[in-house]
With several copies, the nearest count.
Chain A
């Protein structure tokens, strides 16, 4: 049953050094506030999972929290590279990180399989791609009915998933609305989960088939207003595309990045 905690306490309780951590949100509802709290608490040697690392993982990598990244597309969407990711991969700053690289289709299926409690996902994927040559987690199986060769990847089962959503009710039931990505899967596939929300309401007031994650499937709820900024929350605030563009210059330079991190995360008190 979801417990209502401060973001500080939720991260302190569930995110351990060395853990496999997933922060999801497909462009929309990216859990920046939660990521910043992980940085502030100085978590180390994390294996991060995320389809599209985005700025939040660039920041975690640059802050030295990360030793391994499992992902399928690592860029600043519509802008260019993630310079902190590149600096870590190409130059080992602040530390070298290991990459385990998939396609979106494989990761999406691996999240689905994780939520479904299965050890593997099967997909018609990776045909002719070199990715299976550099990722030994990609295997192939033969369909016992048709003989077709299909790709298989291990399901994703994080130690803890952190996602952001619009709102929760007082029992911890959460509404995710708009581009829902793989957030529900990330929560269901994980051993523990923290959901940050814009607000707590009396009644979610939703249609019968809305994407609602029951409180009993979540470990902790934490209120984080504008917790997805500079990503966005459908119905609350827009994506700050200007910040995404500005990030390119900040992240390109180690000193500029470090100064930004000090000002906006380390010294930003509680929820930034």
Chain B
């Protein structure tokens, strides 16, 4: 891997590039929020960012720590109630893409943010579903971004908090009024997409300097690679500059300076 950017930066820039200008994007907190705002500050100035706190078309100067930082409201076109957000804007069909993170993901893109272990006697209790279960089904499509590891990429999630394509890849078949589901997963190692037939995740692009072996080592099942495996384009100098400035502004703000 080259030394003038980190794997985390590579992930964020690649995730940002997935968003097209003009898309309406329902943004999860953390990595998705970082990527979505980078997109807005670079190639997609008219991307519409929507946070579940009710802030419509928001343009924060710094990344929010929480999903409801004041910055999100102050820079929004308008702020609606949370019931309105979920009913009119998400379920109402106005979201092109839901951008999610997760604690665990499996080969059929199912997401687990509920717990590790057994529900009634959990080893680790995670925060829970939040907005994700309905973002993943009511948005037109879903992008997912998270760090690649055997802890996060498991063959079968312990709990399907949020539907990818179900335990057998057929979870969306025959369901009316449902979005396309996950169309890409972006990690610090690669980009994956569901196989058009089986819906199992397939690596379609490796980040510069990353090997197939790196991905296999970090994935909890025998991950497949596309025949026409691509190499993810590197971040541009401008993308890196904008991202670093954004993160620096953010750190200064949240440190209370």
Contact = CB atoms under 8 A, between A and B. Distances in A.
Given A72-B129, A74-B128, A116 B66 contact: no
Interface in B94-141: 94, 110, 114, 119-120, 122-134, 137-138
B161 A130 contact: yes
B53 A90 contact: no
A118 interface: yes
A179 B74 CA distance: 9
A241 interface: yes
- Nearest first, the 6 closest Cβ-Cβ pairs linking A and B are A27-B68, A128-B163, A75-B127, A77-B66, A73-B130, A105-B134
Contacts of B66: 27, 77-78, 239, 241, 244
Contact of A124 (B73, B77, B83, B177): B177
Query: Which range contains the number of B residues in contact with the other chain?
Result: 35 or more
B76 A208 contact: yes
21 contacts: A72-B129, A73-B131, A77-B68, A81-B126, A101-B114, A102-B129, A103-B129, A105-B86, A116-B88, A117-B177, A118-B91, A178-B70, A179-B79, A180-B79, A180-B80, A181-B81, A181-B82, A182-B83, A216-B48, A239-B70, A244-B65
A105 B82 CA distance: 9
A208 B76 CA distance: 8
Interface in A94-124: 101-106, 108-109, 111-112, 115-118, 123-124
Contact of A129 (B65, B88, B163): B163
B61 interface: no
A262 interface: no
B91 to A, nearest CB: 5
Contacts of B54: 26, 179-181
B79 A209 contact: yes
Interface in B205-242: none
B70 A104 contact: no
A235 B27 CA distance: 25
Contacts of B133: 103, 105, 125-127, 129, 131
Interface string A49-82: 0011000000000000000000111110111011
A37 interface: no
B78 A212 contact: yes
B175 interface: yes
B90 interface: yes
A75 B68 CA distance: 13
Given A127-B163, A131-B129, A212-B77, A185 B83 contact: yes
Contacts of B162: 129
B110 to A, nearest CB: 8
A28 B48 contact: no
B83 to A, nearest CB: 4
A165 interface: no
A121 B53 CA distance: 20
A103 B64 CA distance: 22
Contact of A78 (B65, B166, B175): B65
B87 A103 contact: no
Nearest to A147: B176
Contact of A130 (B82, B137, B160): B160
B92 A179 contact: no
B249 to A, nearest CB: 13
Given A116-B87, A131-B114, A179-B54, 20 more contacts: A73-B131, A77-B29, A82-B127, A90-B123, A103-B131, A104-B131, A108-B85, A123-B86, A123-B134, A124-B138, A126-B133, A127-B137, A127-B175, A178-B70, A178-B73, A179-B70, A182-B82, A185-B88, A189-B92, A211-B78
Contact of B130 (A86, A103, A124, A129): A103
A178 B71 CA distance: 10
B79 A242 contact: no
Nearest to A176: B81
Contacts of B69: 27, 239, 241
A210 B54 CA distance: 12
